[in-house]
A and B are shown apart, each in its own frame.
Chain A
Amino acid sequence: MIVLEAAVFLLVAAGGTAVVLTRNPLNQAIVASFYGLILGIMFLVFQAPDVALSQITVGAVALPLMIVLALAKVRALGGGKGEGGGK
């Protein structure tokens, strides 16, 4: 169990770093979705399945969806020309 917990902590740390290091907002939304899934697994490993389910639905589905739709809106208005760059 200790090994599993340590592994999931490392995954969460790697995932969070990956989200920060991804500079393109569109790519970042997808990476954040994976990170939400990893967080859900962490909650499951620490025996909080209720929170894990909420985390997966919000972090892996709802939040990236809102980001992608907002990006599409920005791009439709002509504000996102040249892929943004994340700056």
Chain B
Amino acid sequence: MTPALRRWVFLAAAAVAGGLLVWGLTGLPSFGVYPGPYGDVLNQVAVGERKATNVVAAVTFDYRGVDTMGEEYILFAAVVGVAVLLRAQRDEVEEPPDEDAADRRVPGTSNAVRVLGLALLGPVVLFGLYVVAHGHLTPGGGFQGGVVLATGALVVYLSGEYVTLRKVRPAALIDLAESSGAGGYVAVGLLGLAAGAAFLQNVLPLGQPGALPSAGTIPLINVAVGLEVAGGMVLLVSEFLEQTLVLRRPGEVT
């Protein structure tokens, strides 16, 4: 295919795609106009019905809790997939990374980074726990808080060595956090069945809106999702880090 022909094919395709885009955009509601009824209805009833002051959490973990369970298992499957792919190569022997320039040493972590990492670790973990625990009250929840918690492990890695991270993250515990988080969501759902209601129905006492123990099953699900996401992210990062450290098959000459 000559460059000129390629350009014409591209221009034709771009014209069609651009036309469709403009056509679609003209059909959108105007800026700031909300046409659907559901958001307005939920804003009216959610706090009264579920005692959760964060209506977003009431929607994602209660009104459409099954959807969110599916989303959680998407992440779970992705993390397990990455782990399986990367662990399949463990017949490779550990070797220090190849030195491209033997006279040029990798600089060690500077003291400034170490001190900053040490100072950040506590607040980051605490903030992650806060975001998980207050998901039904304020913006946030298990997913966001779980990622914040996982960045705690990253801070350890950045301010030290990967070996340090290996010490503070026992693999069994991480696997346990991830799997119990994934299973915990279903367990909370089964609670509804055990109480004679529907799967994932909010059967626990709802309490007062704004109180930390309120909104029934929503905080429990948040904790489960937080465990799952934090465990999954740490697992994902450490699998990748092991790969960058290690990686030559036995006998392979480099």
Contact = CB atoms under 8 A, between A and B. Distances in A.
Given A61-B147, A65-B237, A69-B244, A78 B254 contact: yes
Interface of A: 49-50, 52-54, 57-58, 61-62, 65-66, 69-70, 72-73, 76-78
Main secondary structure of the interface of B (DSSP, over half): helix
B210 to A, nearest CB: 17
Contacts of A49: 139
Interface in B78-112: 97-98
B154 interface: yes
B151 interface: yes
A72 B57 CA distance: 37
Contacts of B240: 66, 69-70, 72-73
Contact of A50 (B139, B151, B236, B241): B139
Of A49, A50, A76, A78, the most chain B CB neighbours within 10 A belong to A50
A87 to B, nearest CB: 16
A73 to B, nearest CB: 5
A50 B56 contact: yes
B136 to A, nearest CB: 12
Contact of B147 (A50, A57, A66, A72): A57
Interface of B: 54, 56-57, 97-98, 131, 139-141, 143-144, 147-148, 151, 154, 233, 236-237, 240-241, 243-244, 247, 254
Contacts of A61: 147, 151, 154
B56 A77 contact: no
A54 B131 CA distance: 11
Contacts of B154: 61, 65
A76 B247 contact: yes
A53 B139 contact: yes
Contacts of A54: 143-144
B90 to A, nearest CB: 15
A87 B254 CA distance: 26
B244 A53 contact: no
Given A50-B56, A53-B131, A57-B144, A69 B237 contact: yes
B244 A58 contact: no
B244 A73 contact: yes
B137 to A, nearest CB: 12
